């Protein structure tokens, strides 16, 4: 009987330790993939802004990076604390969308660059 209890306890501990190791790895992954919010960016730092500046005058807006992670970058263009445009750049496919947040029309840019 003691053997059964010892074996059961050992297996339970191994299982619980294994689960906590998996949880730790997923927490690390979440930290790495967290997005950042950056205000008043350096315009030359982001390649998609070259295409966007052909459509809108960048000097008229506060440009804020809402998120920039491994797969995508989202930039907001604000005026008087109101979000006017939003760009979404899919890095691997090099696909860019520029959306006018004040209208329900099609994107101003929706192409591979």
Mean pLDDT per segment of 10 residues, for the chain of length 113 residues?
Answer: 54 54 46 49 84 95 94 96 97 97 94 95
Return the pLDDT at 25.
47
The rounded distance, in Å, linking the Cα atoms of 38 and 65 is: 5
User: How many C-beta atoms surround the C-beta of residue 52 within 10 A?
Assistant: 23
What pTM did the predictor assign?
A: 0.66
Give the 3-state DSSP-derived string for 45-71, with helices as H, strands as E and coil as C: HCCCHHHHCCCCCHHHCEEEEEEECCC
Closest by CA to 72, choosing from 96, 51, 50, is 96
Return the pLDDT at 50.
93
Return the pLDDT at 44.
77
Phi/psi of residue 39, nearest 5 degrees: -100, 155
Return the pLDDT at 8.
55
Return the pLDDT at 45.
87
Return the pLDDT at 104.
83
Return the pLDDT at 15.
55
């Amino acid at each position: 009987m003691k053997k059964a209890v010892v074996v059961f306890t050992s297996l339970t501990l191994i299982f619980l330790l294994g689960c906590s190791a998996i949880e730790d790895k997923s927490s690390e992954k979440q930290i790495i993939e967290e997005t950042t919010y950056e205000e008043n960016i350096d315009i030359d730092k982001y390649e998609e802004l070259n295409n966007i500046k052909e459509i809108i005058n960048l000097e008229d807006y506060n440009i804020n990076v809402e998120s920039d992670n491994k797969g995508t970058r989202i930039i907001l263009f604000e005026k008087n604390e109101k979000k006017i445009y939003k760009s979404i750049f899919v890095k691997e496919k090099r696909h860019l969308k520029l959306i006018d947040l004040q209208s329900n029309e099609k994107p101003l840019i929706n192409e591979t660059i």
